[in-house]
Amino acid sequence: MDKLRIEGGIPLSGTITVSGSKNAALPILFAAILMDSPCSFLNVPNLEDIRTTLRLLRMLGLSCECEDHVVQTEPGNLIPEAPYDLVRTMRASVLCLGPLLTRLGRARVSLPGGCAIGARPVDQHIKALEQMGARFDLEGGDIIGRCSGLRGAHIVFDMPTVGGTENLLMAAALAKGRTILENAAREPEVVDLARFLISCGARIEGHGTSVIVIDGVQSLSAQTYSIMPDRIEAGTFLAAAGITGGKLTIKNCPYSELETVINKFQELGMQISQTPDGVLAACGKAGLHGTDVKTQPYPGFPTDMQAQIMALMSIASSSSIVEERIFENRFMHVPELIRMGAQIKIAGHTAMIRGVSHLRGAQVMASDLRASASLVLAGLAAHGITDVRRIYHLDRGYERIEEKLNAVGARIERLQQ
């Protein structure tokens, strides 16, 4: 297992480029299951979760090639089984359920267990697919779904679920008749999936709003498609500029999709503006001061940026409050930040952060993807050396992060743990 050794206290400066979005690429790659023709995907990030997805697609019968951020898939004889050993490493594997059912009429997918940040149930996916005519059994930890063709339905999600909306978009694209998804997720990654499906002949309207209407078609044939930039990676780099008191130009930064995050960073005292080269981010002269954040479904403040903004808040000149409203256990970065001198108290889903003048380097442990990013940010700002262990969590969602940060002045080494 690797760790990152970070020498803190260096203001970052220069230009950093954002990779393709992990959370857009994953559902779009699973949508290849729907296609009658080969697909070419551009700007695919080079990440562990992408490699896991390609392994699963090959097990399902597709052929997949990946070279230098381009993925090519070819349809094959589909084998509708996603095994536990693979699903347990990546919950997003459940996104093969909708495509397999609508394409083949059957699917056996290991029920994705919980993960560090919460139970992560898939009841909304199941309930909605049952409304479209699928029947499910649970056998040995696997969900076994069957149907004689899915038919359109009027579905109202109990909460806006990104994965649920994506699974149902893919299922409805080849179903018979009209499907309406109400209380649908509005995340940009859902919109990117819809745009890909439409480019292949799907009939979808309302993506990006909470009501999406899909009229099923007979077949879909893929086009070449370029994945949108990763707004969470971009937000993490904005945070790196703020927490180090540096100045970064972030290329391929999806400004409008990051509006809420940028507004919050500006409330903290950061200066962020669009320039012809990208988005320029710097810490204000007066440094950072506290603000309050509640995580919400898009377009609210994204839960995937909660750990990162908390690192910034931990060195602000005043106090902040963070409320995590999406996941039940997404404060695991807090004890590790406290080991670095942060002053944070947790009460239920709320964290109270009292800013300190500086953090101190320490040995810390990553627990999940975005917590890892938070600890790297804290290490960049801390006085002294920080070792972030178990960074396999980080490698799931950030492509070569230490190389990108070292290119703008950071001093990070990847070492054997």
Half-sphere exposure of 350 (CA within 13 A, CB side): 5
98 touching ligand EPZ, by CB under 6 A: no
How far is 360 from 338, CA to CA, in rounded Å? 10
In the residue annotation, 115 being an active-site residue is answered as: yes
97 touching ligand EPZ, by CB under 6 A: no
How far is 226 from 192, CA to CA, in rounded Å? 9
Question: Which segment (117-125, 199-207, 359-367, 383-391) binds ligand EPZ by CB under 6 A?
Answer: 117-125
Which of positions 397-416 make contact with ligand EPZ (CB under 6 A)? 397
When binding is defined by CB under 6 A, the residue of 5, 120, 195, 294 that contacts ligand EPZ is 120
143 touching ligand EPZ, by CB under 6 A: no
Question: Which segment (53-61, 156-164, 276-284, 345-353) binds ligand EPZ by CB under 6 A?
Answer: 156-164
CB burial of 110-138 (b: ≥16 within 10 Å; e: otherwise) equals: bbbeebebeeeebebbbebbebbbbebee
Please, which residues have CB within 8 angstroms of residue 67's CB and are 6 or more apart in sequence? none
Q: Cβ of residue 160: shortest distance to ligand EPZ, in angstroms?
A: 7
Helical spans, DSSP H, in 31-96: 48-59, 84-87
Q: Which two tokens stand for residue 62?
A: 């597709």
Shorter beta-carbon distance to ligand EPZ: residue 126 or 316: 126
114 touching ligand EPZ, by CB under 6 A: no
Q: Which of 115, 147, 200, 283 is catalytic?
A: 115
Confirm if 330 and 369 have CB atoms less than 8 A apart.
Answer: no
Question: Which residue has tokens 């803190």?
Answer: 8
- The β-bridge partners of 293 are 322
124 touching ligand EPZ, by CB under 6 A: yes
Q: Cβ of residue 27: shortest distance to ligand EPZ, in angstroms?
A: 7
159 touching ligand EPZ, by CB under 6 A: yes
Report which residue type is found at 326. I
Q: Cβ of residue 159: shortest distance to ligand EPZ, in angstroms?
A: 5
| Contact mark string toward ligand EPZ, 339..378, x via CB under 6 A | ------------------------------xx--------
How far from 215 is each of 35, 170, 173, 177, 211, CA to CA, in Å? 17, 11, 7, 6, 13
Q: Cβ of residue 368: shortest distance to ligand EPZ, in angstroms?
A: 7
How far is 253 from 251, CA to CA, in rounded Å? 5
Taking Cα atoms as reference points, which of 257, 218, 256, 253 lies closest to residue 238? 253
304 touching ligand EPZ, by CB under 6 A: yes
102 touching ligand EPZ, by CB under 6 A: no
123 touching ligand EPZ, by CB under 6 A: yes
Question: Which segment (4-12, 115-123, 171-179, 261-269) binds ligand EPZ by CB under 6 A?
Answer: 115-123
Task: Report, as residue numbers or ranges, the catalytic residues.
Answer: 115
Residues that bind ligand EPZ in the complex, under the rule CB under 6 A: 23, 26, 92, 118, 120-125, 159, 161-164, 185, 189, 303-304, 326-327, 369-370, 397
